[in-house]
Amino acid sequence: MNLLIDIHSHILPGIDDGAKTFTDSLVMAQAAVKQGIHTILATPHHQNGKYINEKPDITSLVKKLNEELQKESIPLTVLVGQETRIHGDMIHELETGKMATLNDTKYVFVEFPSSQVPRYAKQMLFDMQVAGYTPIIVHPERNQQIMEQPSILFDFVQKGALTQVTAASIVGKFGKNIKKFSHQLVDANLTHFLASDAHNTTSRGFVMREAYQVLRNEHGNAAFYMFMENTQFLIEGQNVIREQPEMIKKKKFLGIF
């Protein structure tokens, strides 16, 4: 498989629920390389009620990790990113350098609480775009309210937001309901990126190669290449490929919960 770019990972050591030590980070890096990944965005949690990881700290740790990778001759490049829980001061934090965009582009990860979508999310996503940023909603397929009301996500995407599904969701590691919903998002053009969200090499590993294979088998070559190319466009700061979003019919969800 072509060399992959992973835009979502918790590979930085000791700052969130991902890698604990530099040794863990290097083990994850080796696992990533085995998966065919050559470039990875480090996206530690920020403002999620448990972790605060501001851009200067992330940047410094990314530099150190890249130095360690070179020392160990592991052919992986780590780039600066951040996974920020939605909150009222996002634009202020972006403007003051506390929040990081993805590889210094206009793209920004936005995480929702797992059970619901805050009422102000629509306004915040709009305001971010007015300020020149492109929000990417991470793992919408694991959000309970979005699963129950996919029209919420349709509305966000139609108004310019992008989304990223998790490789483990696509292959069924979070269960069959989340797997089914992930594939419905792909079919409805409601997601634009595939990423690992890897936290370790055991319970929350990379499975990127497997997920891209499933994507190709279930959705064809066009989807396979679109998802792959979009990660390249993202790290280069270019506009990504996005097809016209479609509504997911609610009736498909009867009997799931």
Selection from 60, 4, 13, 66 nearest residue 199 by Cα: 13
pTM: 0.95
Inside any domain, residue 252? no
Inside any domain, residue 246? no
Which structure tokens are listed for 183?
């594939």
- Give the count of domains, the chain: 1
Residue-by-residue pLDDT tens, the chain, 257 positions: 558 999 999 999 999 999 999 999 999 999 999 999 999 999 999 999 999 999 999 999 999 999 999 999 999 999 999 999 999 999 999 999 999 999 999 999 999 999 999 999 999 999 999 999 999 999 999 999 999 999 999 999 999 999 999 999 999 999 999 999 999 999 999 999 999 999 988 878 899 999 999 999 999 999 999 999 999 999 999 999 999 999 997 654 445 54
In the block, residue with structure tokens 């599904």? 165
Inside any domain, residue 42? yes
Q: What is the CATH number of the domain that holds 209?
A: 3.20.20.140
Looking from the CA of 48 toward its CB, the CA atoms found within 13 Å total 20
Inside any domain, residue 257? no
Q: Are 103 and 65 in contact (CB under 8 A)?
A: no
Inside any domain, residue 24? yes
Pairing of strands 45-46, 107-111: unpaired
Domain limits for position 96: 4-236
- Looking at residue 202, its pLDDT comes to 84
By three-state DSSP, how is residue 236 classified? Answer: helix
Inside any domain, residue 242? no
DSSP 192: -
Inside any domain, residue 255? no
Inside any domain, residue 130? yes
